[in-house]
Amino acid sequence: MAFAPYALPYLAPVALIALYLAWQRQTPRRAAATAYCFGLGLFGSGIWWVYISIHDFGGADPASAAALAALLVAAWAGFPALAAWLIAMVPWPGAWTRAAGAALLWVAVEYFRGNYVLNGFPWLQIGYSQTGTPLAGFAALGGAYAVGFLLAFSAFAAAEMAQKTVRWRSGLALLLAIWGAGAGLRAVAWTEPAGAPIAVTLVQGNIGQDEKWLAHQQLATLNLYRKLTEQYWDSDVIIWPETAIPAFLEDVKPFFIDPLQAEARARGVDIVVGLPSSGQGRDYYNSVLALGETQALYHKVHLLPFGEYLPLQPLSGWVLDQLAIPLGDFAAGGARQPLLRAGGHAFVATICYEDAFGELVARQAAEAGYIVNMTNDAWFGDSAQPHQHLQMAQMRALETGRYLVRATNTGVTAFIAPDGAVKRQAPLFATVAISDSIVPMRGATPYLYLGDGGAFAAIALLALAVAAGERRFGLAG
């Protein structure tokens, strides 16, 4: 309930306090079991929507889809259990050190899950629940993991206060300092305008996922996007969503792309579209094509396991073949691709879930004026998933100090300001285009320099400082 769309962020520390108290004075095995039950509740209620993708669009029967969804929930629930086991294994010298160390281990396990397991699954990391609270002010300093650490530390310190293992006065003072500093940081302008506002239009085609790739629907889809676009020729930039064009670039370039670019140039508009493109040999990419004075491509770097590539082959391929689930196998683009340009400014292009990875966005954001996310959340129907995805995009805006615009086939097409606020959004499951102005920004937040590695180094130093302070000043109860 702390995550979107329910937006009850203060339930997050309450849940963490309860969990922390539950595993106190338990053996590592029992602490892990307690946290595993917590994980089952978290992921069972938070990512149940994978069933929709597997069943409705993956072609699996209900039993197989439910089994796979349950398997995923059971697997991800193991990570809170791992964190609890590690925390219970350490002979912490004091209550403050235990609270800080436990918070550090919690977000370290989240980082491992979010970046290395099956190419990373950062969903439901605790920091994302705080995009609307004072703790969001720390996103510009250390990203989502710094926010998550301070949330966990606040909760665990409060739990220690409840057990009277730390002094209430010192505990309350520290919590007020953390949350007060976060509120102050939210008012800091880390970046500044790099030029005049530009008018941007986001096109949401709302093409049904079961119709999107049908050959006889291709022309109707192209005509729909063209018609929606023609109403907004007065924009500076028009953006279509991920794979809005359901055909390879090479197949539609002569009769559709080139004429579209020519008309856009004549009207002084840059158009950014999503489509698949071919590479060398049998490689093909999930791509963004910017149509300005020239045509420039970005190929998706961070691929979605099972959706865009098959991990653990050949085992995974055999399992999916048995379940009759057809999935793609895209190639990944280069890690360092030139930034695309539209509206007179460079922008960071992200496709699908790439905006869920802070460091991926941050490593080029300092050179860009704004961020674009092109996605298709139709895979998950009318569930919490599109709203959770939007919340992660809000964190990217906070981390980088830049506007982030999202064009979705359906999902939450939206304009997000540098402070993480949603300026304007389109309704779900509507065929619509929305326009607003954004201001390209320049400058860099500390997070753009630190990245996740630097942020974790700072978090570890902070935890060590808490431990040193406890030893020196005797802050225990």
* Residues taking part in catalysis: 242, 300, 352
Cβ–Cβ under 8 Å, residues 341 and 320:
no
Number of other residues whose CB lies within 10 A of the CB of residue 71: 11
Residues counted in the chain: 477
184, exposed or middle or buried, with CB in 10 Å at 0-12, 13-18, 19+? exposed
Shortest CA distance to 53 belongs to which of 386, 390, 275? 386
SS (H, E, C) the chain: CCCCCCCCCCHHHHHHHHHHHHCCCCCHHHHHHHHHHHHHHHHHHHCCCHHHHHHHHCCCCHHHHHHHHHHHHHHHCHHHHHHHHHHHHCCCCCHHHHHHHHHHHHHHHHHHHHHCHHHCCCCCCHHHHHCCCHHHHHHHHHHHHHHHHHHHHHHHHHHHHHCCCECHHHHHHHHHHHHHHHHHHHCCCCCEECCCCEEEEEEECCCCCCCCCCHHHHHHHHHHHHHHHHCCCCCCEEECCCCCCCCCHHHHHHHHHHHHHHHHHHHCCEEEEEEEEECCCCCEEEEEEEECCCEEEEECCCCCECCCECCCCCHHHHHHHHCCCCCCCCCCCCCCCCCEEECCEEEEEEEHHHHHCHHHHHHHHCCCCEEEEEECHHHHCCCCHHHHHHHHHHHHHHHHCCCEEEEECCCCCEEECCCCCEEEECCCCCCEEEEEEECCEECCCHHHHHHHHHHHHHHHHHHHHHHHHHHHHCCEC
Contacts of 365 (CB under 8 A, 6+ apart): 348, 371, 400, 402, 444, 448
| Rounded (10°) angle between helices 446-473 and 139-162 | 30
Shortest CA distance to 228 belongs to which of 429, 220, 296, 199? 220
